[in-house]
Amino acid sequence: MNPMTETIELCSRAFIAWNFAAMEGKNMNRNEEYNSQSFIAKVLRKKMEVFQIPVNIPDYLLILIELCTQSNPGVSQVMLKEILTAIPNLQPGHEIKPEDFSRVYTADFPTMENTRWEKHFQKLWDAQKNSEGQNLCDTVDWWMELFN
């Protein structure tokens, strides 16, 4: 199996599991084993905590982001912000749902193995840099744009 097919299969499994868990009303946050081992989960959860971004990110979404971005922390941040930006009337305390992910990525999983998505995320990454080349995703203002 080629790497792109394998990633898409893993994304499909995670997305289906997320949908079933959501339908059954299961708690989808904070699997301690996953969160202690996943670099992307640590990065994104720490950003939300430090910048006091009041949204609930299910582990399933973190898994999808990790798979799609090949564990790239910068791309993971712009992907998360793209998802959050697409949520109509985002309010503090919102729990991200499978439909929030689907609202942005409707036709296929945005995997880095797909050059179309790789270019898309590179464009978003470049756009978040300021004129000195610093990453705005490392600032509270960049994240708080979600609630303005």
Q: Which residue has the tokens 């081992």?
A: 37
Predicted confidence at residue 117, as pLDDT, reads 96
Rounded to 5 degrees, what are φ and ψ at 117? -75, -35
Range of the domain at 37: 3-147
pLDDT at 27: 67
Query: What is the value of pTM for the model shown?
Result: 0.93
| Residue 113: HSE in the Cβ half-sphere, 13 Å Cα cutoff | 15
Average pLDDT across each block of 10 residues of the chain; the chain has 148 residues. List them in order. 88 94 78 87 94 92 96 97 94 92 94 95 96 93 88
Beta strands in the chain (DSSP E): 55-56, 94-95
Domain tally for the chain?
A: 1
pLDDT value, residue 36: 84
Nearest-angstrom CA–CA distance, 4 and 6: 5
Q: What is the rounded CA–CA span in Å between residue 78 and residue 76? A: 6
Nearest-5° Cα angle at 109, 140 to 60:
60
Residue 8: both structure tokens together: 């898409």
